[in-house]
């Protein structure tokens, strides 16, 4: 499952072209969605939810994917 979460997190970062503003503590502030062509403060959760549903993950697994997105961005 770890590998799956990492691949979905990579898809999310790729979808946003890395345009995700994040605090040094790991909180997502703003994200740019290329599909909608907008910057948004609340869109990060929606993008994560959409990509997780495309991968047929359960709702309780969305939080795991979010942590991998944050980990990859902080590196």
pLDDT of res. 72: 86
Q: Residue 13: what pLDDT?
A: 85
For residue 32 the two structure tokens come to 């740019």
> What is the residue extent of each domain of the chain?
2-74
**pTM score of the predicted model:** 0.78
Tell me the per-residue pLDDT of 17-35, one tens digit each, with 9 for 90 and over: 778 888 877 788 788 877 7
Q: Mark out the alpha helices in 1-75 (DSSP H runs).
A: 2-15, 43-54, 62-74
């Amino acid at each position: 499952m770890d590998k799956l979460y990492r691949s979905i997190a990579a898809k999310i970062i790729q979808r946003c072209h890395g345009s995700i503003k994040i605090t040094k503590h790991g909180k997502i502030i703003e994200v740019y969605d290329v599909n909608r062509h907008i910057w948004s403060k609340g869109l990060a959760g929606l993008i994560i939810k959409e990509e997780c549903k495309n991968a047929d993950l359960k709702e309780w697994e969305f939080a795991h994917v979010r942590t991998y997105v944050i980990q990859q961005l902080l590196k």
